[in-house]
């Protein structure tokens, strides 16, 4: 399995959708736990890293890198 690096501000698509119907989440905090926010309703969720990495389907968008 390839190592994927996540950054604050990335929007990821999860394998399961949120009850509001959205499956896209924005990453707000990275560390042992990830703080993610639903793009549909704004619900915040604190998720352990192993569970987060298993639940991510793909990275939808990234913020442009600042030089």
User: How far apart (Å, rounded) are the C-alpha atoms in residues 5 and 59?
Assistant: 10
Give the global pTM: 0.85
If you write DSSP's letter for every residue of 1-67 in order, what string do you get? -------TT-EEEESS--TTS--EEEEEE-SSEEEEEETTT--EEEEEHHHHHHHEEEEEE-PPPP-
* pLDDT score for 43: 96
The predicted pLDDT at position 1 comes to 55
pLDDT tens digits in sequence order for the chain, 67 residues long: 577 899 999 999 999 999 999 999 999 999 999 999 999 999 999 999 999 999 999 999 887 765 5
Q: So where are the chain's domains?
A: 11-61
């Amino acid at each position: 399995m390839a190592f994927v690096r996540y950054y604050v501000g990335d929007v990821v698509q999860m394998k399961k959708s949120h009850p509001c119907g959205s499956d896209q989440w924005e990453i707000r905090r990275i560390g042992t736990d990830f703080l993610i926010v639903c793009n549909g309703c704004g619900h915040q969720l604190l998720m352990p890293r192993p569970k987060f990495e298993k639940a991510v389907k793909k990275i939808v968008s990234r913020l442009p890198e600042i030089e």
